[in-house]
Amino acid sequence: MNPGDPIAAIAIASILFVIGLLGVMVRRNLLFMLISVEIMLNAAALAFIAAGARWHAADGQVMFLMIIAYAAAEAAVGLAIVLRMHAAGRGTLDADTGNRLKG
C-alpha cells in the first residue's frame, strides 16, 4: 500500500473513526470515552490531511491545526469535568451512573 495514497489514508481514517465511535458507545469508563473521542477527532484530522494531499490544498492542514486545538480544548474540559466529579465525592468513573437527567 502506497503511503501517499489518499484512498488508503481515508480508509485508515474511517477505521480509526469507527473504533473511536465504538469506544464511546461501548466503554463506560469516562477516561476511556475521552480517549475514544480523541481517536475520532484524529481520524477526522487524518481525513483532512489526506484530502489536502490529494488536491494539493493548504486548507486540509489548516483544518488539522484547528482540530488539534479542538482536541486540546475538549481534553481540558473533559478532564476538568472528571476531576470535578471526583472532587464532588463520586467514587466511580462509570458514565452510566450520571443519568439523573433522564426524561
Partner 1 sequence: MAALLPLIILCPLAVAVILLLSRGTMPARATCGLVGVGMGLCALFGVIEAVTFLNGPDSTGALHVVLWHWIHVGGFDTSFALTLDRLSLVMMLVVSCIGFLILVYACSYMRDDPDIARFFVYMNLFVASMLLLVLSSDMIAVYFGWEGVGVCSYLLIGFWYHETPNANAARKAFVVTRIGDALFLVALLLLATGVGSLDFNAVIQAAPHAPHAAITLATLLLLGGAVAKSAQLPLQTWLPDAMAGPTPVSALIHAATMVTAGVYLIARLHAVFLLTPGVMLLCAVIGFVTILFAAGSALVQTDIKRVLAYSTMSQLGYMYMALGCGAWQGAMFHLVTHAFFKALLFMAAGSIILRVHHEQDIFKMGGLRQEMPGVFWAFIAGSAALAGLPLITAGYFSKEMILTSAYNVAPLFWLGGILGAFLTSIYIFRCVFITFWGEARTHAHGRTGIVQAVPLAILGVLAIIGGWMEVPDSLGSVHIFSNLLSPVLGELPEEHGGAVLLLIGSIVPLIGVSLAWMLWKPTGRAPEALDQPLVRVLRADWGFDALYDVVFVRPYLALGRLNRNDFIDRLYDLLASVTQFFGRAFGLMQTGQVRRYAAWIAVGTVLALCLAV
Stretch of 7-15, 27-35, 47-55, 61-69 contacting partner 1, by CB under 8 A: 27-35
**CA dist., res. 103 & res. 43, Å (int):** 33
| Identified binder of partner 1 from the candidate list 8, 28, 79, 80, rule CB under 8 A | 28
Measured from the CB atom, the residue of 53 and 95 that comes closer to partner 1 is 95
Stretch of 23-31, 49-57, 64-72, 85-93 contacting partner 1, by CB under 8 A: 23-31
The yes or no reply on residue 43 touching partner 1 (CB under 8 A) is no
CA angle 63, 78, 101 (to 5 degrees): 120
The yes or no reply on residue 2 touching partner 1 (CB under 8 A) is no
Cβ count near 82 (within 10 Å): 16
Residue 45 CA: distances (Å) to CA of 18, 31, 51, 58, 98: 14, 21, 10, 13, 30
CA angle 44, 49, 54 (to 5 degrees): 125
Measured from the CB atom, the residue of 65 and 80 that comes closer to partner 1 is 80
Residues in contact with partner 1 by the rule CB under 8 A: 21, 24-28, 33, 95-96, 98-103
